[in-house]
Amino acid sequence: MSAPAAALLPYEPAQFEGLPPDLPVHVWDGAAPPPPQEILDTVGFFTVPYLGTAAALPLLPRMPALRVVQTLTAGVDDVLPYLPAGAVLCNARGVHDASTAELALALILASLRDIPGFVRGQDAEQWRSGFYPALADRTVLVVGYGSIGTAIEDRLTPFECRVRRVARTARQTPRGPVHPLSALPDLLPEADVVVLVVPQTEQSRGLVGTEFLSRMRDGALLVNVGRGPVVDTAALLAELESGRLRAALDVTDPEPLPPGHPLWHAPGVLISPHVGGSSSAFLPRALRLVSAQLRRYAAGELPDHQVHHRPEQGV
């Protein structure tokens, strides 16, 4: 593919390594007013500012030369409907693996060992001793075994637990089999912890509903670091309020979770405010990804991590 004239990036060019010297670069961070139309007319490569998708979407139809849309998120469900004809959409595969996997592990350990209870005990000056569940000897089912799911298993391995893997497509890995989604009914009753790393699609919306949850064993922990609408909130609340299941949620439906929502105070739930990818590990990995993509782009090569290509109209 031939390289259009310019790239529109959310960070200053000096922050990137090895940018092609003859590639014009403009900067827009998503917070400032959008660039003028004469600049948008020249943009062929656009990196959507992280946490700036809402401001960026109206600009996409105003970029007639646009050929590559690079997100800084793993999920692209909010961008896909706005992708112009002739453009390729690429996600940030690899950028959030470390951050999200760390948080998934933190949520698992905090929930099993009741760290929130210790914090409440400290606030109340209560010494809450006793025995608490360990991660060791547990079975963890990772649903959505892509690059983030793999990174989660990397961090689970030293904890002496068993890991089972599920993805849309069955395959073999050096660590063992990845089972298809159709295997969930048999795998769920074996799992002490179920970790969701599923992207939001029409197929995944409501995947974790009454039937899914009913197959989880009593006392099991559901951890969601994927997308909120993958879980049926009403069905999850019913299980939490009965005391049969527990949950640790970095994402919710609705999101942000509004004041007064019953999830805030449901028994056995730990909530973090969608911060799986928001850590100090984000920026260096984002810069490396975009730098590599720009080098490929300027060389006339197809970018990596394509998740969708919208053909030219009439093609």
Q: Which residues share a beta bridge with 270?
A: 248
Looking at the fold, whether 286 and 264 belong to one and the same domain comes out as no
Q: How confident is the model at residue 312 (pLDDT cuts 50, 70, 90)?
A: low
Task: Kindly tell me if the per-residue pLDDT of 98 is higher than 60.
Answer: yes
* Active-site residue, selected from the candidate residues 67, 138, 227, 305: 227
The answer to whether residue 12 is catalytic is no
Report which secondary-structure segment, H or E, holds 178.
Answer: strand 176-180
- Catalytic residue chosen out of the listed positions 168, 255, 288, 310: 255
Q: Which of 162, 205, 274, 310 is catalytic?
A: 274
What is the token pair recorded at 284? 């260096």
Q: Which of 66-80, 128-142, 298-312 has the highest mean pLDDT?
A: 128-142
In the predicted structure, residue 162 carries a pLDDT above the cut 80: yes
Query: Given the structure tokens 């998503």, which residue do they identify?
Result: 30
For residues 162 and 251, state if they share a domain: yes
- What pLDDT is stored for residue 21 in this prediction? 87
Find where tokens 């609408």 sit.
Answer: 229
In this structure, what is the dihedral angle of CA atoms 154, 71, 272, 102, given to the nearest 10 degrees? 20
pLDDT digits (tens, 9 = 90+) for 229-239: 999 999 999 99
> Does the structure show a pLDDT above 60 at 313?
no
Domain that holds residue 226: 97-271
- Phi (first) and psi of residue 260, to 5 degrees: 85, -5
CATH number at residue 292: 3.40.50.720
Q: Is 125 helix (H, G, I), strand (E, B) or coil?
A: coil
Do 24 and 156 belong together in one domain? no
- Residue 307 pLDDT exceeds 70: yes
Residue 315 has pLDDT above 50, yes or no: no
In a shared domain, residues 267 and 156: yes
pLDDT band for 2, please (50, 70, 90 cuts). Answer: very low
Rounded to the nearest integer, the mean pLDDT of the chain is 94
Structure confidence at residue 119 as a pLDDT band (50, 70, 90) = very high
Mean pLDDT of 63-87: 92
**Residue 126 sits in the same domain as residue 89:** no
pLDDT band at 202 (very low <50, low <70, confident <90, very high): confident
Reported residue count of the chain is 315
How many domains, in total, are found in the chain?
A: 2
The Cβ of residue 156 has, within 10 Å, a number of other Cβ atoms equal to: 22
Query: Do the beta carbons of residue 311 and residue 85 sit within 8 Å?
Result: yes
Q: Do 49 and 108 sit in the same domain of this protein?
A: no
Average pLDDT over residues 63-70: 96
- Catalytic site residue 227? yes
Nearest to 111 by CA among 304, 234, 251, 272: 272
pTM score: 0.90
Is 255 known to be catalytic?
yes
pLDDT tens for each residue of 164-179 = 999 999 999 999 999 9
Q: Say how far apart CA 28 and CA 63 lie, in whole Å.
A: 14
Q: Where are the strands (E) in 193-304, listed by range?
A: 193-196, 221-224, 246-249, 269-271
pLDDT for 136 = 98
